[in-house]
Amino acid sequence: MADTIFQHFIVQDFILPFLLIFTLVFAILEKTKLLGDGKKQLNAIVAFVIGLIFVTAVFPKEVVGNLMLFLTVALVIMFVIMLLWGFVFGDIKDGFKPEGWMKIGLGLIIGIATIAAVIWAVGIRGGIIDFLFRQSWSSTFWTNFSFVIIVVLVLVYFIRKPKG
């Protein structure tokens, strides 16, 4: 039994997908003026019919539902990254201003912390660690990967143009 009205199967399986598709199709028809200028009623009828056809098909509804779940998770992750990024790279009028190397270091820490937080939140801690570090190929891979990163950093350091 559903706890709230929004958890009821009619709302989740029919009303919300219908409203999403209706709104998107109506907005696209209004913006592109595909059926003519000032044809709101016609655009609404077409969007209504497409929305009804959409909710009767099971597979497309599941695809859109999964994409919406992915979109919400991705938006939250991007919000966290941008919030942390703003703390490091924001324009401070007075007070401590980090140097360029500090910003790069803090940016790397933010990236690594965000990836670790997503792995923790998803609950795949052991699987990722085992896959990356406890395989027969992992020591060779990480040795070569570290070597390539060091070579790239040295090349970037010596090739970049001097400031001036």
| pLDDT per residue rounded down to tens, the chain (164 residues) | 558 888 888 888 899 999 999 999 999 999 999 998 989 999 999 999 999 999 999 888 888 888 888 888 889 988 988 888 787 777 666 666 667 787 788 888 888 888 888 877 777 766 777 777 788 888 888 899 899 999 999 888 888 766 65
- Tell me what pLDDT residue 164 has: 55
CB 2 within 8 A of CB 9: yes
**Mean pLDDT (the chain, rounded):** 85
Which residues fall within 8 angstroms of residue 18, CB to CB, at 6 or more apart?
51, 52, 54, 55
Any long-range contacts for 140-149 (C-beta under 8 Å, 24+ apart)?
none
Could you tell me if 47 and 22 are in contact, meaning their C-beta atoms sit under 8 angstroms apart? yes
Tell me the C-alpha distance between 49 and 29, whole Å. Answer: 13
